[in-house]
């Protein structure tokens, strides 16, 4: 293999490695966001706001209390699904 071809191959490999490292950083950031407490908190708050708005428009009694139900459901599932996932993954191996 000629020196110039070897150098070109090395540059190509370096670029591919850099691309993979950059993609991994993005994936790690996405994963961190998906599992963050801030994200869960924001979803609960936004769900509550939209549920209150909907229940108010639908003219239900006490929409502020009724909006707690979907928020509690979301919060409880985010807390328990990680436990179920761990159990499922351990049996999958």
Please check whether residue 74 is in contact with residue 43, taking contact to mean a CB–CB distance below 8 angstroms: yes
What does the alpha-carbon distance between residue 36 and residue 34 come to, in Å, rounded to a whole number? 6
Please check whether residue 47 is in contact with residue 70, taking contact to mean a CB–CB distance below 8 angstroms: yes
- pLDDT value of residue 59: 94
Task: Show the DSSP H helices in the chain as ranges.
Answer: 3-34, 37-57, 63-66, 68-92
pTM of model > 0.85: no
- pLDDT value of residue 57: 95
Q: How many residues comprise the chain?
A: 93
What does the alpha-carbon distance between residue 58 and residue 54 come to, in Å, rounded to a whole number? 6
What parts of the chain have a pLDDT lower than 50?
Answer: none
Name the token pair of 20: 């993979």
Please check whether residue 39 is in contact with residue 33, taking contact to mean a CB–CB distance below 8 angstroms: yes
């Amino acid at each position: 293999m000629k020196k110039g071809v070897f150098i070109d191959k090395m540059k190509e490999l370096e670029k591919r490695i850099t691309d993979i490292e950059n993609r991994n950083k993005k994936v790690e950031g996405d994963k961190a966001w998906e599992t963050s407490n801030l994200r869960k908190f924001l979803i609960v708050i936004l769900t509550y706001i939209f549920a209150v708005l909907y229940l108010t428009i639908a003219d239900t009694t006490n929409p502020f209390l009724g909006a707690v139900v979907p928020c509690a459901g979301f919060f409880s599932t985010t807390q328990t699904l990680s436990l179920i996932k761990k159990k499922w993954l351990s049996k999958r191996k």
